[in-house]
Structure 1
Amino acid sequence: MIRVSALYPNGEGSRFDARYYVERHEPFAAGMLKPFGLLEIRTAIGQSALDGAPPPFWAISEMVFTTRDHFETAMDRCGERLFADIPNYTDVVPVLQFSELGADTQS
């Protein structure tokens, strides 16, 4: 399994509509991507940095796919519609990162 993280940097003067993202974009994305191997999607909305300053990221959204190939197919089929929705909730270009899921480290 792989995790695809979309990080939305909180740059000076940028905007991010968390309500739209959680209530509309995330369900929209999940509905389109599940047929292509999406197993889970969850989002953390930034509240603050540890020192109380504004959060370095507006949001971090994580999508778990069965394989990178499934993600690539999903983006080929749905990416244009997903990216077209971005202006509805932010003017930030998300930073995307692939990660491999590690072993469960809970004890």
Structure 2
Amino acid sequence: MIRISAVYANEHGSRFDTQYYQHRHEPFATDLLTPHGLLGLRTTLGEAALDGAAPPFWAISELLFASREVFDAALSHCGEALFADIINYTDVAPTLQVSVLGSDWNKGA
């Protein structure tokens, strides 16, 4: 099992439309990717840094797939449409990271 993290940095002067992201992009991505192996999607939205300043990240989305090969195949089918939608909610290019699943929240990560 792998996790693909899409991290949207809160760069100076950047924008991020959380309403569009939550209500349009996430369902769009889920509908496109589920038939191609998406097992789950979770997003956290930045609220603030620990010192109360603006959050360092607008959002972090995590997508679960069975393997890198399944993810790559899904992206070959849907990637163009997914990336084309980015301009509708942000002007920040997401940083993507492939990770293996580690500890479970309930097991005291």
Conserved 8 A contact 1:37-1:67: no
Q: How high is the sequence identity, in percent, across the aligned residues?
A: 61
For the residues of structure 2 that align with 1:68 and 1:41, how far apart are their CA atoms? 16
Q: Root-mean-square deviation (CA), in Å?
A: 1.0
| Native 8 Å contact 1:10 1:55 kept in 2 | yes
TM-score of the aligned structures, taking structure 1 as reference length: 0.96
State the 1:37 CA deviation: 1.0
In 2, the alpha carbon distance for the partners of 1:75 and 1:47 equals 29
SS at match of 2:72: helix
SS in structure 1 of the partner of residue 102 of structure 2: coil
Q: Does 1:24 align with 2:24?
A: yes
Aligned length: 107
Shift of 1:103: 3.8
The offset of 1:45, in angstroms, is 0.5
Q: Please give the alpha-carbon distance, in whole angstroms, between the structure 2 residues aligned to 1:79 and 1:33.
A: 9
SS in 2 for 1:99: strand
Gaps of 5+ in 1: none
| One-letter code aligned to 2:88 | N
1:36 Cα offset (Å)? 1.2
Q: What's the counterpart of residue 55 of structure 2? A: 55
Output the amino acid matched with 1:40: G
Offset at residue 93 of structure 1 (A): 0.3
What is the TM-score when the length of structure 2 is the normalising length?
A: 0.95
Task: Specify the alignment match of 1:46 in structure 2.
Answer: 46
The answer (yes or no) to whether the contact 1:47–1:54 under 8 Å persists in 2 is: yes
Moved over 6 A (4+): none
1:73 lines up with 2:73 in the alignment: yes
